[in-house]
């Protein structure tokens, strides 16, 4: 049984894989401002109740992935749907058409040819954790984020009501993959930046985010 | 041989025996509690069996606990204390609580020098089929998806995620655990509980008694203090079962042994009014047990715990000899000398001992290790007890005072007359009725040969284990594949053939199993590595338009220098051999599956999780030479069935052999008629099981041997006309009562097979006694003049 558990352990760690190379990017200023969950709630007061209480959030994204080996970022864009508790539907339209459905149970990939590839969460348990982090990130669920991350926050000078949220993983193994996360926004999250421990960086710019009080049946079905 | 000479010789022998026992047996005595060691080695392949035993032994050493509490912090705190308690004990060699976060990085580093011969199954298929679109699609997903940071290799270093995909496969997961705050956890919503896992590896064999003795107090301490703090503790592992089984057996032996002993003392004192008789009987039993233990120790090295169950058989029968001898005094109360009995009742005791020993000796023919031990144990013990009675009793037994002896005699004289009125007036209608009863009962008989009859019923433990299995996820099934080959590479190639079929079955319509674990997933054969290298060389690093890699990297925006650099790195690759792989941390999750050299050939195990379609898996194994499905549970059940059938034949043979022995002593006609009682008792016992719908197992049949032996004693005592006296009626009655006491208690055991023994013997003894009473006395054959029982 030991070996089986070792396997399970390996899979859990998979999430937090990649050997750590220190991030080159200078530490964003927000990480000099530790905050409690309560302070953040005040800071993020501009975020409407509709967003926080939403059953689902949908919108468009532009993703810029900065590999430390490449001078220019890898660009992609498309639409997303975050269904709270159910999962994330990540539909990339450019530069290729592909969709990823990430649920606590499985990762289902669908390519342009319509072929599906399914990876069960029981075979790669980290998936479930990722689905949950995304869930909390998009809905700005501070309490939930506080369980997995140390929290930082400050006002973003430019606009009234604008804020910066900084997150560093509590889990040492998680920190080996994701060094820190910065989210900025005002009435809703606008830019999410994932600083990977390898030195790579992913920026996700959100636009046209709309909150839905209930998940449409057609969408619910997709997450089953 | 004179009585005096007999006395001296035997006393000398016993002194020697006690010396040997005290100075050589006791210090080296070993008890085997692994119930599976009772079973014969599978007759086909000793080498494989040994390897599989080693595999089971390794699995048997692991024990997993889930510490549950309402909130995560309490669960973790209590789990930490729990782990610390176990850590401090020498019973456990390894403990896992805090997770080693370097493990994955170490695995990646181990594989890095060999990466150019390593491909995941799906990548290999895509490359071999020229399905570039799938491969590129997967590579894009690994770069662009929101879960992209899950990939195992750097995006710039391995743009197509070829190495990363292999690493994911090699450390493919099973289970529902997740990592939180440095420990493995899982949770349930109803009731809302957070669980933290603690796992440990036993320092020694889970079935060895000294390991159990070491582990038991530590586990109890850890579990009790965790529960005292309000946490739940659920565990899974063989050690927990064997500790429970051993504890239960010990408790039952203590309890039943105690009651039996007290009952025995009481009855004997009441009848014989002699402290000396009690001491002598106890000494007789003790010498019998010591002799049996000593001989078993030298013959078998390790004594099975089942042999100790036979201890009660031994006690049940051996005490009879003392009773028969001493009860002879009621033949002539007041005038009896102990030496008189030797010639009067001695031959009958000799006969019944000979017949019982013969029946046990036949039992030893069956190649069941536990039975052999039990049979030898009883043969030696009975013979020694018999010798004690015949050597010591004539000199040492004191008759009871006249008054109570006369009262007892009178009482049994009256009973004897009652018995003779009933038996003398032939109850002819009874016998056809009995035949009908037996015939009807036997037609309703059904048999069960399930391994579960060997294990004590511990519902709490089983429920806990089930819970752990559910919470942790895909723990391996009891059924697995054994792969054998002439050398390590042969084993790996066969595994690859097998896993190709398994991949189809798992994704097929019946979902034959949820997943499997095989060494070849993490260590491809050299031939496979060669193929992989070729595929990479022809399609990825070169080929159409400079190869897939160059095209993809260009698309991503890498410059030519970066592409050339990556291509250059490919040239130098070396093959990964089993010995190198086994020395890396990457092999750790798989090491137990690699059985290695098993005496001339090599072997490995492929485990399965969540098996749905055994037939399909069997078919998959048939297609690959050297591969077979191992299903220990089914194999053991099959063996139990074969040995049940064999034991039934042996009972029949023993009946026939005993009849011959009796015929030799008492004449043909009388010998066979004497045998009618034990045979009828055995058949009627079976008939009762038929009517009550109790499934008959191997152990019921074994119990019939004992039924036959005891019933034969009663038949000899009660049916030999020359022995007719209140004394023999008393003997048989006492013996039957004490046997009922002993085996009735065993019937209360929670270990199914001990229960089976107890219930069978109790019913059988009752039948044997009643039938022997009813048959009446048998006069000597007119033809046979020599009767061992006549004077």
For residue A21, the chain B residue with the least C-alpha distance is B154
Say how far apart CA B562 and CA A69 lie, in whole Å: 9
CA distance B86 to chain A (A): 16
Q: Given this model, what pLDDT does residue A11 score?
A: 43
Cα-only R_g, chain B:
35
CA distance A214 to chain B (A): 23
Q: Are A153 and A165 in contact (CB under 8 A)?
A: yes
- Nearest by Cα to B166 from B526, B523, B513, B498: B523
Say how far apart CA B93 and CA B87 lie, in whole Å: 8
Q: Given this model, what pLDDT does residue B204 score?
A: 75
CA distance B515 to chain A (A): 9
**pLDDT tens digits, one per residue of B33-69:** 665 566 666 545 666 777 777 777 777 788 889 999 9
Please tell me if residue B582 touches chain A, with a CB cutoff of 8 Å. no
| Residue found by looking up tokens 């019973």 in the block | B91
Q: Which tops the pLDDT comparison, A119 or A214? A: A214
Torsion sign (Cα): B434, B438, B444, B445? positive
Q: How many interface pairs between A and B have CB atoms less than 8 angstroms apart?
A: 221
Say how far apart CA B69 and CA B227 lie, in whole Å: 10
Torsion angle defined by CA atoms of residues A178, A180, A184 and A187, in that order, rounded to the nearest 10 degrees: 70
Going from N- to C-terminal start, the domains of chain B cover: 1-32+273-400, 52-99+182-243, 415-459+667-791
Chain B stretch 77-116, residues whose beta carbon is closer than 8 A to a beta carbon of chain A: 94, 96, 99-101, 103-105, 107-109
Same fold, B1-32+273-400 and B415-459+667-791: yes
Q: Given this model, what pLDDT does residue B681 score?
A: 96
Residue A15 to residue B179, Cβ atoms within 8 A: yes
Q: Which residues of chain B, if any, have pLDDT below 70?
A: 1, 33-47, 101, 172-176, 205-210, 305-313, 366-367, 424-427, 453-456, 473-475, 572-573, 781-791
Please tell me if residue B474 touches chain A, with a CB cutoff of 8 Å. yes
Please tell me if residue B145 touches chain A, with a CB cutoff of 8 Å. yes
Q: Which residues of B touch A177 (CB under 8 A)?
A: 149
Of A9, A74, A123, the CB nearest to B184: A9
Query: Which of B95, B139, B145, B480 is the mutation pick for testing A, counting most A CBs within 10 A?
Result: B145
Average pLDDT over residues A84-104: 85
Q: Given this model, what pLDDT does residue B789 score?
A: 40
Residue B101 to residue A13, Cβ atoms within 8 A: yes
Residue A125 to residue B236, Cβ atoms within 8 A: no
CA distance B67 to chain A (A): 16
Residue A90 to residue B145, Cβ atoms within 8 A: yes
Residue A122 to residue B105, Cβ atoms within 8 A: no
CA distances from B564 to B127, B155, B159 (A): 21, 16, 14
Q: Given this model, what pLDDT does residue B36 score?
A: 59
Residue A92 to residue B144, Cβ atoms within 8 A: yes
Residue A3 to residue B588, Cβ atoms within 8 A: yes
Q: Given this model, what pLDDT does residue B424 score?
A: 61
Q: Given this model, what pLDDT does residue A10 score?
A: 45
Residue A125 to residue B592, Cβ atoms within 8 A: no
Q: Which tops the pLDDT comparison, B455 or A218? A: A218
Alpha helix segments (H runs only) across B145-195: 162-170
Find all residues with CB under 8 Å of B495, minimum gap 6, and list them. B483, B518, B519, B520, B525, B604, B606
Written as six digits, the tokens of A44 are 């993020």
ipTM over 0.85: no
Please tell me if residue B150 touches chain A, with a CB cutoff of 8 Å. yes
Share of chain A above pLDDT 70, in %: 82
Of A3, A72, A100, the CB nearest to B589: A3
Q: Given this model, what pLDDT does residue A25 score?
A: 46
Torsion angle defined by CA atoms of residues A77, A122, B137 and A192, in that order, rounded to the nearest 10 degrees: 20
CA distances from A94 to A190, B140, B447 (A): 20, 11, 69
CATH level 2 (architecture), domain A2-14+23-223: Clam (2.50)
**pLDDT tens digits, one per residue of B104-159:** 788 889 999 999 999 999 899 999 998 888 898 888 888 888 777 778 888 888 99
Q: Given this model, what pLDDT does residue A195 score?
A: 92
For residue B153, the chain A residue with the least C-alpha distance is A18
- Nearest by Cα to B485 from B511, B436, B439, B519: B519
The CATH class given to the B415-459+667-791 domain equals mainly alpha
CA distance A63 to chain B (A): 8
Please tell me if residue B169 touches chain A, with a CB cutoff of 8 Å. no
With H, G, I as helix, E, B as strand and everything else as coil, classify residue B618.
Answer: helix
Say how far apart CA A126 and CA A18 lie, in whole Å: 14
- Nearest by Cα to B711 from B355, B363, B426: B355
Q: Are B151 and A17 in contact (CB under 8 A)?
A: yes
Residue A10 to residue B589, Cβ atoms within 8 A: yes
Q: Which residues of B touch A74 (CB under 8 A)?
A: 143-144, 556-557
CA distance A37 to chain B (A): 18
Residue B96 to residue A2, Cβ atoms within 8 A: yes
CA distance A84 to chain B (A): 16
Q: Are B100 and B511 in contact (CB under 8 A)?
A: no
User: Which homologous superfamily is B1-32+273-400 in?
Assistant: Multidrug efflux transporter AcrB transmembrane domain (1.20.1640.10)
Q: Given this model, what pLDDT does residue A218 score?
A: 77
Q: Given this model, what pLDDT does residue B73 score?
A: 87
Say how far apart CA A111 and CA A4 lie, in whole Å: 33
> Can you name the CATH fold of B52-99+182-243?
Alpha-Beta Plaits (3.30.70)
User: Which pairing describes strands B303-304 and B31-32: parallel, antiparallel, or unpaired?
Assistant: parallel
| Residue found by looking up tokens 């905050």 in the block | A35
Q: How confident is the model at residue A4 (pLDDT cuts 50, 70, 90)?
A: very low
Provide the angle, in degrees to the nearest 10, between the axes of the packed helices B132-144 and B548-556. Answer: 40
pTM greater than 0.90 (yes/no): no
Query: Which of A9, A19, A120 is the mutation pick for testing B, counting most B CBs within 10 A?
Result: A9
Q: What is the 3-state secondary structure (H, E, C) of B691-740?
A: HCCCCECHHHHHHHHHHHHHHHHHHHHHHEHHHCCHHHHHHHHHHHHHHH
Of A14, A65, A71, the CB nearest to B152: A14
């Amino acid at each position: 049984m030991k070996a089986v558990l070792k396997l399970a352990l390996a899979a859990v760690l998979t999430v937090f894989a990649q050997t750590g190379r220190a991030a080159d990017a200078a530490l964003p200023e927000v990480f000099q401002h530790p905050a409690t969950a309560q302070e953040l709630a005040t800071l993020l007061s501009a975020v409407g109740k509709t967003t926080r209480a939403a059953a689902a959030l949908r919108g468009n994204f532009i993703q810029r992935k900065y590999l430390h080996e490449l001078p220019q970022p890898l660009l992609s864009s498309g639409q997303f749907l975050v269904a709270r508790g159910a999962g994330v539907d990540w539909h990339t339209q450019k530069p290729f058409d592909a969709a990823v459905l990430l649920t606590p149970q499985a990762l289902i990939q669908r390519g342009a040819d319509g072929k599906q590839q399914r990876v069960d969460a029981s075979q790669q348990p980290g998936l479930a954790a990722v689905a949950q982090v995304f869930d909390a990130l998009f809905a700005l669920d501070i309490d939930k984020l506080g369980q997995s991350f140390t929290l930082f926050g400050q006002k973003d000078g430019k606009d009234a009501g604008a804020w910066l949220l900084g997150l560093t993983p509590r889990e040492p193994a998680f920190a080996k993959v994701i060094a820190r996360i910065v989210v900025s926004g005002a009435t809703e999250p606008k830019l999410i930046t994932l600083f990977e421990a390898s030195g790579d960086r992913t920026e996700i710019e959100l636009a046209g985010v709309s909150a839905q009080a209930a998940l449409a049946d057609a969408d619910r079905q997709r997450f089953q | 041989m004179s009585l005096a000479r007999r006395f001296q010789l035997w006393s000398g022998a016993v002194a020697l025996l006690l010396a040997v026992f005290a100075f050589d047996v006791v210090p080296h005595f070993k008890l085997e509690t692994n119930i599976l060691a009772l079973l014969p080695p599978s007759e086909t392949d000793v080498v494989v069996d040994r390897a599989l035993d080693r595999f089971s032994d390794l699995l048997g050493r692991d024990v997993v606990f889930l510490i549950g509490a309402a909130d995560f912090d309490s669960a973790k705190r209590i789990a930490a204390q729990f782990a610390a308690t176990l850590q401090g004990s020498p019973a456990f060699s390894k403990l896992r609580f805090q997770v080693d976060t370097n493990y994955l990085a170490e695995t990646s580093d181990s594989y890095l020098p060999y990466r150019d011969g390593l491909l995941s199954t799906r990548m290999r298929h895509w490359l071999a089929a020229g399905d570039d679109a799938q491969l590129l699609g997967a590579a894009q997903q690994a770069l662009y998806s929101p879960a992209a940071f899950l990939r195992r290799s750097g995006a710039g270093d391995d743009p197509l995620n070829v190495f990363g995909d292999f690493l994911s496969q090699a450390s493919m997961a099973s289970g529902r655990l997740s990592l939180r705050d440095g420990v493995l956890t899982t949770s349930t919503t109803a009731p809302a509980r957070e669980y933290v896992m603690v796992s440990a590896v036993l320092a020694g064999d889970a079935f060895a008694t000294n390991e159990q003795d070491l582990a038991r107090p530590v586990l109890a301490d850890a579990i009790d203090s965790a529960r005292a703090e309000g946490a739940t503790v659920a565990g899974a592992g063989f050690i927990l079962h064997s500790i429970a089984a051993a504890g239960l057996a010990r408790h039952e032996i203590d309890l039943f042994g105690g009651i039996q002993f007290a009952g025995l003392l009481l009855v004997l004192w009441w009848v014989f009014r002699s402290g000396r008789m009690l001491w002598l009987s106890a000494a007789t039993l003790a010498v019998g047990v010591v002799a049996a233990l000593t001989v078993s120790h030298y013959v078998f090295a390790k004594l099975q715990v089942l042999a100790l169950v036979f201890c009660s058989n031994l006690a049940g029968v051996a005490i009879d000899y003392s009773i028969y001898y001493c009860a002879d005094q009621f033949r002539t109360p007041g005038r009896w000398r102990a030496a008189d009995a030797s010639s009067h009742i001695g031959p009958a005791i000799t006969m019944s001992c000979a017949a019982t020993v013969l029946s046990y000796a036949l039992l030893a023919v069956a190649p069941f290790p536990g039975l052999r031990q039990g049979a030898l144990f009883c043969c030696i013990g009975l013979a020694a007890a018999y010798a004690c009675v015949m050597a010591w009793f004539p000199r040492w037994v004191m008759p009871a005072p006249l008054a109570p002896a006369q009262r007892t005699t009178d009482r049994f004289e009256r009973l004897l007359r009652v018995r003779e009125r009933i038996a003398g007036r032939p109850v002819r209608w009874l016998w056809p009725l009995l035949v009908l009863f037996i015939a009807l009962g036997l037609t309703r008989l059904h048999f069960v040969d399930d391994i579960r009859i060997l294990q004590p019923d511990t519902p709490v433990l089983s429920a806990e284990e089930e819970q752990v299995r559910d919470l942790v996820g895909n723990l391996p099934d009891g059924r697995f594949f054994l792969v054998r080959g002439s050398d390590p590479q042969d084993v790996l190639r066969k595994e690859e053939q097998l896993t190709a079929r398994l991949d189809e079955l798992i994704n097929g319509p019946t979902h034959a199993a949820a997943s499997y674990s095989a060494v070849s997933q993490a260590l491809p054969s050299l031939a496979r590595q060669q193929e992989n290298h070729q595929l990479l060389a022809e399609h990825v690093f070169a080929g159409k338009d400079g190869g897939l890699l160059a095209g993809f990297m260009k698309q991503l925006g890498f410059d030519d220098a970066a592409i050339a650099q990556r291509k250059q790195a490919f040239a130098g690759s070396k093959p990964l051999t089993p010995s190198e792989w086994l020395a890396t941390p990457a092999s750790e999750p798989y090491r137990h599956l690699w059985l290695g050299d098993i005496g001339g050939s090599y072997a490995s195990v492929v485990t399965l999780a969540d098996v749905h379609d055994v037939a399909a898996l069997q078919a998959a194994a048939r297609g690959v030479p050297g591969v077979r499905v191992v299903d220990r549970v089914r194999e053991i059940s099959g063996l139990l069935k074969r040995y049940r059938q064999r034991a039934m034949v042996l009972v029949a043979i023993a009946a026939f052999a005993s009849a011959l022995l009796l015929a030799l002593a008492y004449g043909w006609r009388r010998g066979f008629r004497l045998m009618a009682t034990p045979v009828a008792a055995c058949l009627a016992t079976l008939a009762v099981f038929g009517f009550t719908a109790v499934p008959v197992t191997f152990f019921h049949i074994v119990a019939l041997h004992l039924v036959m032996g005891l019933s034969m004693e009663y038949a000899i005592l009660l049916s030999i006309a020359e022995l007719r006296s209140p004394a023999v009626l008393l003997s048989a009655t006492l013996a039957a009562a004490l046997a009922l006491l002993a085996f009735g208690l065993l019937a209360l055991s929670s270990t199914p097979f001990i229960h089976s023994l107890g219930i069978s013997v109790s019913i059988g003894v009752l039948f044997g006694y009643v039938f022997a009473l009813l048959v009446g006395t048998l006069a000597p054959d007119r033809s046979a003049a020599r009767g061992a029982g006549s004077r």
